[in-house]
Amino acid sequence: MKSKSLLLTCGLTVLFMLWLLSLISSPSYASQAAIPEQAPKASFWFAPSAKEARNGLGYYREDVMPGETKDYKFYVKNLENTELSLKIYATDPIPLQNGGKDFKSYNAGVTHAGAWLHPQGPKDITLGPNEMREYTYIASIPDDLEPGQHIAVVAVSEYNEFQGPAVETNMVNTTVAPDIENQSGLWIVMDYELEKARHGLAIHSFKHDYIASGESRFTVSLENTGTILEQPTGYLEIRDTSKNIIYRNDYEAGSIYYGTTASMVSIARGKLLMPGEYEAYFEANYAGQKAWRMFKFTVTPEAKNEAQALMEYAGKIEVDGGIPDWLRSVLIAGVILISILVLLLLWLLVKRKKGDLEERISRYMNKGYSFERTRRKVQLDRTTFTLYVVKLGYIAEGEEPKWNQTLNTSQAMELSHNLKGDDDNVMKGA
């Protein structure tokens, strides 16, 4: 009975260790449902006047030469049945977060190809219901034009006055976004000796902070120092002091225009960094070249505790306490080792149990117990017990024990003597 209890305990221990290993290896995260964004209804139509541009790329692109002048015309149409007020202006393209197409607002100023367009500055226009007008911008190409891809933007924006009640806030460093209802920008791509364009990317800075949900945010500033648009690929790795990779994010950046800097942002969803020292490795691959840089940062116990509280509140992670990576590795190794030891113990117990049964059967039978009484003592079914007593020589193979009979004293002594002799022969052979 004790052997069965021990076997059961060992089995349950193995199952518990496997369950614990799964918990250590895979933290539990709460699932988040994505809410699709709804696109605003367009109030105006904006397109190149040139049919080949309008029906082709949807924007202007052509080769240019230093010192020449180019005209670019655009249609703007009011799609509403009421009067519509807009702003039209020349500006520069800028990258979105992680790269992509965007442009500066009308009051941001221009420093690159947008400065070649005339007129400069925003122009207020008012269109009647369903009215369409054409606007012309003239590009004056510089005499000292560098080989490369030079991009300007003509943009139209609809701005609405804020008409709600005043809002009080105690938030520090709060920025209120402009009241833009709709906006659209059209690119003017001016190529000059593209085969001689200069390629270059520079990694400037790194920042680790937290978003509202408590999850870590990593921001790397990546500048295009060349004279042509780049769309790099690469990755960010966060490593601990033992060089273990805590977090990795592979990216394929959108457009990063020359002379602009993109914020390459990665958010470690559901990942809680423990207090300690870390290093961030950022790599960008472009035009057969590679730029990389290493940064170091620290997570304090206070920052970890605050981030964990926010993550638990937001349902991003479910933990009672953080486990450092070194401790996680030790625990995993310990669980594996203990599981191996438990399995070895089980094997030894099974092997020993077989020898113990034979010894106990011999002892009870030699004491004069009946076959039935001996069987009950060792807790075996009749079929299994019969196999054992045949092996021990109490009955011949194929016979059935006479369950209520015992061995006589002389037979018991003879069998005991034979068994002892067999043991002696085994010892001599060894």
**Tens-level pLDDT at each residue, the chain (430 residues):** 445 555 566 666 656 666 665 554 444 333 333 334 444 578 999 999 999 999 999 999 999 999 999 999 999 999 999 999 999 999 999 999 999 999 999 999 899 999 999 999 999 999 999 999 999 999 999 999 999 999 999 999 997 654 444 444 443 444 444 566 789 999 999 999 999 999 999 999 999 999 999 999 999 999 999 999 999 999 999 999 999 999 999 999 999 999 999 999 999 999 999 999 999 999 999 999 999 999 999 999 999 999 999 999 998 864 434 455 556 677 788 888 888 888 877 766 665 565 678 888 888 888 889 999 998 988 889 888 898 889 888 898 888 898 988 876 445 545 555 555 554 444 444 4
Residues 49 and 157 occupy one common structural domain? yes
206 and 296 belong to one structural domain: yes
Last residue of a domain, one of 291, 322, 353: 322
In a domain, 207, yes or no: yes
Q: Are residues 256 and 217 in the same domain?
A: yes
Q: Using CA atoms in the order 47, 49, 51, 56, what is the torsion angle rounded to 10 degrees? A: -40
* Alpha-carbon distances of 19 from 12, 30, 248, rounded to whole Å: 11, 19, 27
Sign for the pseudo-dihedral over CA of 348, 350, 354, 357: positive
- C-alpha dihedral, 175 to 180 to 186 to 191, nearest 10°: -10
221 and 363 part of one domain: no
N-to-C CA span, the chain: 34
Same domain, 278 and 350: no
101 domain-assigned: yes
Residue 243 CA to residue 237 CA, distance in Å, equals 10
Specify if 417 maps to a domain: yes
Is 37 inside any structural domain? Answer: no
pLDDT at 72: 97
Distance CA 193, CA 255 (A): 20
Q: Is residue 53 part of a domain?
A: yes
310 with 356, same domain? no
> 60-63 and 180-192: which strand pairing?
parallel
Q: Rounded to whole angstroms, how far apart are CA atoms 309 and 213?
A: 9
Q: Which secondary-structure segment (H or E) carries 187?
A: strand 180-192
Please give the Cα distance from 426 to 420 (Å, whole number).
10
Q: Are residues 256 and 347 in the same domain?
A: no
Q: Are residues 71 and 206 in the same domain?
A: no
**Is the same domain home to 339 and 313?**
no
Identify whether 208 is part of a domain.
yes
Residue 356, both tokens:
């113990």
Q: Which domain holds residue 244?
A: 201-322
Pairing of strands 123-127, 117-118: unpaired
Residue 33: inside a domain, yes or no?
A: no
Cis? peptide before 27, omega within 30° of 0 = no
What pLDDT is attached to residue 336? 86
Report pTM. Answer: 0.63
Q: Are residues 223 and 307 in the same domain?
A: yes
Map residue 100 onto helix, strand or coil: coil
Would you state the pLDDT for residue 295?
Answer: 98
361 C-beta neighbours (distance < 10 Å), count: 23
CA–CA distance, 34 with 300 (Å, rounded to integer)? 32
327 assigned to some structural domain: no
Tokens of 129: 């219901």
Residue 58's domain is classified under what CATH number? 2.60.40.10
In the chain, the number of structural domains is 3
Domain end: 264, 292, 322, which one? Answer: 322
Q: Are residues 191 and 207 in the same domain?
A: no
280 lies in the same domain as 257? yes
